[in-house]
Every structure is written in structure tokens, then in C-alpha cells.
Amino acid sequence: MTIHSVGVVGAGQMGNGIAQVFAQAGYDVLLNDINQTSLDDALTRIDRNLERQVAKQALSPDEKSAIMGRVKTTLDLAELGPLDLIVEAASEREDIKNAIFAALAPHLGAHTILTTNTSSISITRLASLTDRPERFMGIHFMNPVPVMKLVELIRGLATNEDTFSQIRQVVDRLGKVPTISEDFPAFIVNRVLVPMINEAAYVLYEGIGSVSSIDSSMKLGANHPMGPLELGDFIGLDTCLAIMNVLHRGLSDSKYRPCPLLVKYVEAGWLGRKSGRGFYDYRSGVPVPTR
């Protein structure tokens, strides 16, 4: 089977980026969300991203128009069912993902491949509740999707070789670089990255350093392009906490215990850039450390 049509579930910062890269690679894309405003905002963001490429002469105006023409939107999840490939990119909550796959089930074509953009949750467990665990796998894009080259590919225990081969070909067509991860909590990137952010939160929580000193130390001392607390705000502190919880529960190792300060920020609704406050306060337009 050749994949031509792609459904993307979730029009947030990951979903709209995934829709964009598929459309740029020539796929017909149907983007779904439960909120029309989110769909409208996603189209606006894709248009703005492409316009920047036009300004840099990386795309012609006609190419941009063709790409935008390949992205359609819908509030009706069932419309994605007959497509060749579906990429779930909703919230990093297992109950939400399971509900999405259950709602899709009666509408799926026999040939449809299901994938999830989860950054930490068991592929095998998600697949086991569908009617096609052999045609289910993880395809984890990095944020921001149009810029970052890496895609983690994760097979569940039941994923068959044909499904894996087709998805790897898709990733090649997108111009991305695949890495292969076994199906263990948080896979490769977030198994290394998010505990670092959590440890930076502990350093802040224990009063060892301020937000500025922690981020400056890692940028200037380890040559990281972004400090760990700044990066946590960029990812979303709720997502970081969700990943730490998956690691802590899945591996039963105390070294993955979420930092109480990270928990407190999430409880306060201080989720980072998307909410206006996290380890930094963004409400003035200039990031100001909160500690």
C-alpha cells in the first residue's frame, strides 16, 4: 500500500506542525480538533510559517498556495477513518488517547495505519486496545516539527514489519531522520532530556541556584542552546510532569520522582510559554525569572 492521505488528530503546537510537514511533502492532510478556533489558529500558523519560507525564497508563492491547498480541517473525527495513515497528536494523557482511538475504531478502513505522537506512553499498551495492534506504532516528532529533523520510531510488541517499513518510508519522504527506539517509558530523547529538566527544577527547589544562574550555567558551561528551565517552559511544564510521572510509574525508580516545585507550578497553572508563566513570566513580552 502507498500512503497518500493523512489524518492528524489535534491542532495544537505539535499537530499543526505535523500537518504542515506532511502537506509540504505532498500528502493530502485532514486536520482534526474538537475546537474550531484551534483549527483556525493552526491554519494561520501554518500559513505564517510558509510565508517566512517564501520571504527567504525557500518556497515560491505558488508552492505555498499548493501546500495550503492540501490541508483541510474537520471537527468530525469520523472523517479521518478512511484515510491511509492517522497520526494522533493530542494531549499527553493516556485516557484521552485511548478515547480517540476508540472513537475512530468504527470508521477505520481495513488498510488504515494508526500512529501516535506520544512522547512517553507505552505503544504496546495503546495498541492493545485497538482492533489493529499489528498496524499501530509510535512516530514521535520533535518540537518545533517543521524545524527539527529527528523522528523517533517506536514499534509496539505486535507491530508488524510491513507497518514499520511503510512508516519509515514516510519519514524519509518528509525529509526527517529516523531513530529507532524500543518501547520503554519516554523512549530515547525524553528518557534523557526530561529528567535533566526535572533535576534543574530540583536545583532551583533546593536553593542551589536561581532560574537565571541554572540556565546560564547550562548554556555557557555545557553549550546548550537553551537552558533546561527555559526549555521546560517551551515544552510545557504539564507535559514535562506527565513524562516524569510515566517514567516514575513505569520504571519504579526514585530517581524519576517529579520535583515538588514542578508539581506546584503545574498545579498553579504555570505551564510555561503557553500559559504566560512558568519558570519565567512572559506576560510583559520579556521573559522574567520567577525565582
Same domain, 21 and 136: yes
Catalytic member of 140, 181, 198, 275? 140
Last residue of a domain, one of 160, 181, 202: 181
16 is catalytic: no
Catalytic member of 32, 92, 117, 152? 152
Is residue 165 scored above 80 in pLDDT?
yes
Confidence (pLDDT) at 92: 87
The amino acid at residue 281 is D
Our count of domains for the chain comes to 2
Percent of the chain scored above 70 by pLDDT? 100
Is 186 a member of any domain?
no
Place of cell 555545557: 222
Same domain, 233 and 166: no
160 is catalytic: no
Asked whether 205 and 261 are in contact (CB, 8 A), the reply is: yes
Cβ neighbors of 230 (< 8 A, separation 6 or more) are 215, 279, 280, 287
d(CA 58, CA 254): 48
Entry pTM: 0.89
Catalytic member of 117, 122, 190, 198? 190
Same domain, 100 and 138: yes
Q: What are the residues facing 71 on neighbouring strands?
A: 29
d(CA 152, CA 143): 12
Q: What is the CATH number of the domain that holds 78?
A: 3.40.50.720
119 is catalytic: yes
Q: What is the pLDDT of residues 93-105, one digit of tens each?
A: 999 999 999 999 9
Q: What is the CATH number of the domain that holds 271?
A: 1.10.1040.10
Same domain, 169 and 216: no
140 is catalytic: yes
Angle between helix axes 260-267 and 237-251 (nearest 10 degrees) is: 130
Catalytic member of 5, 119, 122, 275? 119
d(CA 148, CA 174): 11
Q: What is the pLDDT of residues 123-133, one digit of tens each?
A: 999 999 999 99
Same domain, 9 and 84: yes
